[in-house]
Amino acid sequence: MASRIDKLDYVILDQQLSRSFHDQLEQTLKPLEQRFSIFSLFKPEFRLLLNGYIYLHSLARDASSLGQKIYNLKTVSKLSASNGIMSKLQLYILGTSTVLIPYIRERFSRSKLLNNKLAYFLEDAFKIGELLNFLIFLQKGCYPHLMYRLLFLDCDLIEGKKRISLDSYYVNRNLMWTSISEILSYLIQIVDFNRIGLIIRQKVISKLTPSNLSSEKNRESRDYRICAICDEWPNNPHHIGCKHIFCYFCIHSDYMQYGGSAYSCPQCGHKISDVSHIKQLYMSWT
């Protein structure tokens, strides 16, 4: 039989692990949101996928949450006819309360469905129930969660295993992975995905398009109407010897950021050796 301390420890550990996973998700999505604002609209869905993945690979598969696994605990059913094994109905209800309800609460937080007296009453009643359940748990040592009590679920030691002590090995391993994740999060923010995409596009276009097709002689009327960098009408048009046209500010700022010994057109890959090759384009409308 698992002790009260083991059960309290795994509950706190589950909360800390969940918070850590969601913090890492936030750090991963942050640079993507800065470049693609659409990602911010689907944050609840990303959290839903994360919570669902954690649930499927912990409680649903092994009958143990992440915190329970560390303490060699498992969730067991207290129903007399279950032999300690959770039924599918218990798994579905537990998964709904763990994964689906938090998603609904976040996604529809501003909806009238969750902003009425009934919803507030149910939320307050659940919090009071959690408090009462915790007081009973401290006295009797079973059902650490209110949902566990409602579903007749408890946790016990896995047969044939002992409780794992959290020594310096686990602490050092956690610190190592935390440091690695922070380094990766920092690197993601400084990677210029736009430039990488341009380089890949240059390589592909240069292989598929003959060099003579990107020369000034093959410049068409539509090339005069669009800047090859900002895709707007060229303001004070300039060129670098290929058929593409650029705004004065676009080409000079792009050259300052990515230029050097060699700068190439972001569309066709035409290269120039220095800034003197950036020339103003004079157009005649007669």
Q: What is the pLDDT along the chain (286 residues), one digit of tens a residue?
A: 678 888 888 888 898 888 888 888 888 888 877 777 787 888 899 999 999 999 999 999 988 998 888 888 899 998 877 788 888 999 999 999 999 999 998 888 888 878 888 888 988 999 999 999 999 998 888 899 899 999 999 988 887 676 665 555 666 776 777 788 778 777 777 777 767 776 676 667 666 666 555 677 778 888 888 888 888 888 889 988 888 899 999 888 888 877 666 788 877 778 888 888 888 887 655 4
Reported pTM: 0.56
What tokens does 271 get?
A: 């290269």
Confidence (pLDDT) at 286: 46
* Predicted pLDDT at 9: 85
pLDDT of residue 205: 63
Please give the pLDDT value at position 283.
Answer: 67
| CATH 3.30.40.10 residue ranges for the chain | 193-280
Distance from first CA to last CA of the chain, Å, rounded?
A: 94
pLDDT value at residue 136: 93
The per-residue pLDDT for 47 is 92
Among 101, 99, 71, which residue's Cα sits nearest to residue 11? Answer: 71
- Other Cβ atoms within 10 Å of 15 Cβ, number: 11
Report the alpha-carbon distance of residue 23 to residue 20 in Å, rounded: 5
170: which 2 tokens? 């686990």
b/e string for 103-119 if b means 16 or more Cβ within 10 A? beeebeeeeeebeeeee
Nearest to residue 264, comparing CAs of 204, 183, 211, 199? 199
Q: What is the CATH number of domain 193-280?
A: 3.30.40.10
